[in-house]
């Protein structure tokens, strides 16, 4: 069997409302690897119907570990990592196809591109969220994900270049969804930082939160996104505040302490 040129990898859990559109946006790939964590909403069936190789697991050890499981299953010379709530636009798809079809020795070891995210139904084109450059396309033998619980990093050996086009990120459709995600992600990030030997305090939580708001709303011109630009800057500041507070003795939940 010939080696595929491009493998797409994604991890899922109850993403039936997203996974079909996600996979359709990368239909140009040669294989699709989906590692699913106990979905009960038909996610696996939809992915299988698309032709994806679906791996089922109930064990969850964090985003980085889960993505490495998908990576280990990929056979392509190139790998594109994507989340279920993301879509590759036409311009980015054309550039990805050009990269993977070039001569094997040509080009970089990995490529980054801009991600355009929506917040409560609005595309956010300023502030901390844009241009949110993400490293997602890489030669399979050149990359590996860090083992962070959240905000995992792709660690690459070799040169990194940039592609045009955008990755569309359909995240946080409502404020309720955003607040729920904030609580989960700040807990996971606090654990990652504690494991790395970092500590937090009330004063550091306040200071970092204040800077996060100024950076997003003023320095990076989040105010140009209107009312939701202000809401997003507050959201980012609040997430920063709770992350540092959860890293402190004052804010640590027993579950976080056990995960250190």
pLDDT at residue 105, as a whole number: 65
CA contacts within 13 A on the Cβ side of 44? 10
pLDDT at residue 149, as a whole number: 82
Neighbours of 147 (CB within 10 A): 16
Cα–Cα dist 33/59, whole Å: 17
pLDDT at residue 139, as a whole number: 96
| pTM score | 0.90
What architecture (CATH level 2) is domain 6-169? Alpha-Beta Complex (3.90)
Cβ atoms of residues 30 and 5 within 8 Å:
yes
pLDDT at residue 95, as a whole number: 96
Domains of the chain, residue spans:
6-169, 175-259
pLDDT at residue 252, as a whole number: 62
Residues contacting 93, CB < 8 A, separation 6+ = 25, 26, 28, 165
Mean pLDDT by 10 residues, the chain (260 residues): 89 96 98 96 97 90 92 97 98 96 80 97 96 96 91 94 96 93 90 87 96 98 98 97 89 53
Helices (H), the chain: 19-25, 43-50, 63-73, 90-100, 175-195, 202-213, 227-246, 254-259
Cα–Cα dist 57/36, whole Å: 6
Burial of 117 from C-beta contacts in 10 A (0-12 / 13-18 / 19+): buried
Across-strand partners of 9?
Answer: 33, 81
């Amino acid at each position: 069997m010939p080696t595929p040129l491009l493998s797409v990898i994604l991890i899922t859990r109850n993403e039936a409302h997203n996974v079909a559109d996600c996979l359709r946006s990368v239909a140009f790939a040669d294989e699709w690897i989906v590692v699913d964590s106990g979905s009960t909403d038909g996610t696996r069936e939809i992915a299988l119907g698309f032709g994806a190789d679906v791996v089922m697991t109930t064990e969850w050890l964090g985003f980085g570990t889960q993505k490495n499981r998908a990576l280990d299953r990929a056979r392509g010379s190139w790998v594109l990592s994507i989340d279920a709530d993301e879509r590759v636009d036409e311009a980015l798809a054309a550039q990805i196809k050009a990269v993977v079809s070039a001569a094997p020795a040509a080009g970089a070891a990995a490529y980054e591109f801009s991600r355009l995210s929506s917040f409560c139904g609005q595309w956010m084109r300023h502030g901390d969220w844009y241009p949110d450059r993400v490293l997602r396309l890489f030669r399979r033998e050149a990359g590996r994900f860090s083992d962070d619980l959240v905000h995992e990093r792709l660690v690459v050996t070799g040169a990194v270049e940039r592609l045009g086009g955008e990755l569309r990120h359909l995240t946080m459709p409502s404020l309720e969804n955003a607040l729920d995600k904030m609580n989960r992600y700040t807990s996971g990030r606090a654990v990652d930082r504690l494991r790395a030997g970092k500590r937090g305090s009330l004063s550091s939580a306040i200071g970092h939160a204040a800077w996060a708001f100024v950076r997003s709303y003023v320095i990076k011109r989040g105010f140009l996104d209107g009312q939701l630009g202000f809401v997003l800057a507050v959201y980012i500041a609040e997430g920063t505040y709770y992350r540092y507070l959860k890293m402190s003795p004052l804010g640590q939940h027993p579950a976080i302490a056990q995960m250190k």
